C-alpha cells in the first residue's frame, strides 16, 4: 500500500527522485507497505521493518535492516561501515542501475521478509573492550562505573568508539572528560 507521505517525500527530493520513483513500485509489488520513519521512506511487512531509502551524496541506498542475514549471491550488498553489524545496503547511482537490479532487489526483499517472519536476529555484539583511558576511569571511579554500566549497550559502544577514535592519548582523555557529565546522568552522546 502506498503512502501520501512517501509521495511527498519523493516529490521533494532534489537528487534521487527518479531512482526512488523507479525502485518504490518494485518494493510495493513485493508486498511491502510504506511509511515515513526516521524522516525517510521505510518499507515494512506486517510489523517488521524490511528496508529504508537513504539519500546520500554519491548514491541512493536501499538499506536492509537485517541485511547481514540475507544471502547475497550477486554480491550487491555492502556494509554501512566498519561497526555495522546487521544492516547492509544496495547502492544505486542511476535509474538504469535500478532497472538492471530489479530481479536482485525482488529476491533480496523476499528473503528479507522470510528472515523477518522467522524471527531471526543478528547475534549479540562482541563484548565491549573499553579503550585504555576509559577502562582506567571505570576502575578508579565507582560512581562513574555504575553510571556507564547503566547505559544501554549501544550507548556504551558509541562512547567507546568515539573515545578510541582519537589517535593521541591526550585527545582520548579530553573526549572522555568532555562526555563524563553526560555519562554520569545516563545520557547518550547525542542526548540533550
Q: How far apart are CA 149 and CA 86, in angstroms?
A: 24
CATH class label, 4-118: alpha beta
Distance CA 178, CA 83 (A): 23
Q: What's the pLDDT tens digit per position in 43-71?
A: 999 979 999 999 999 999 999 999 999 99
- According to DSSP, the residues that pair with 34 across neighbouring strands are 43
Please list the residue range(s) of the chain that carry CATH number 3.90.1150.
4-118
CA trace torsion 111, 80, 97, 19 (10° rounding): 100
Q: Where are the alpha helices (DSSP H) in the chain?
A: 4-12, 17-29, 95-100, 102-118, 132-140, 142-150, 153-164, 169-184
Pick from 18-32, 67-81, 92-106: least confident? 67-81
pLDDT the model gives residue 82: 66
Instruction: Taking residues 18-36, report their average pLDDT.
Output: 96
Q: Tell me: the pLDDT tens digits for 112-150? A: 999 999 988 888 777 889 999 999 999 999 999 999 999
38 Ramachandran zone, left/alpha/beta (phi>0; psi -120 to 50): left
Residue 115: burial class (beta carbons within 10 Å; 0-12, 13-18, 19+): buried
pLDDT above 70 covers a percentage of the chain that reads: 98
Amino acid at each position: 500500500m502506498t503512502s501520501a507521505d512517501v509521495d511527498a517525500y519523493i516529490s521533494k527530493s532534489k537528487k534521487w527522485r527518479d531512482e526512488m520513483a523507479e525502485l518504490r513500485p518494485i518494493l510495493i509489488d513485493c508486498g511491502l507497505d510504506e511509511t515515513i520513519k526516521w524522516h525517510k521512506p521505510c518499507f515494512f511487512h506486517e510489523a517488521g521493518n524490511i528496508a529504508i531509502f537513504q539519500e546520500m551524496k554519491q548514491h541512493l541506498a536501499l538499506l536492509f535492516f537485517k541485511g547481514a542475514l540475507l544471502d547475497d549471491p550477486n554480491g550487491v550488498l555492502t556494509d554501512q561501515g566498519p561497526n555495522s553489524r546487521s544492516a547492509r545496503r544496495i547502492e544505486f547511482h542511476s535509474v538504469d542501475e535500478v532497472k538492471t537490479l530489479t530481479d536482485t532487489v525482488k529476491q533480496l526483499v523476499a528473503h528479507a521478509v522470510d528472515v523477518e517472519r522467522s524471527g531471526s536476529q543478528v547475534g549479540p555484539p562482541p563484548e565491549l573492550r573499553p579503550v585504555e583511558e576509559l577502562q582506567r576511569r571505570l576502575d578508579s571511579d565507582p560512581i562513574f562505573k555504575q553510571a556507564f554500566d547503566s547505559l544501554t549497550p549501544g550507548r556504551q559502544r558509541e562512547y567507546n568508539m568515539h573515545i578510541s577514535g582519537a589517535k593521541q592519548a591526550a585527545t582520548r582523555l579530553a573526549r572522555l572528560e568532555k562526555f563524563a557529565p553526560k555519562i554520569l546522568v545516563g545520557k547518550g552522546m547525542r542526548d540533550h
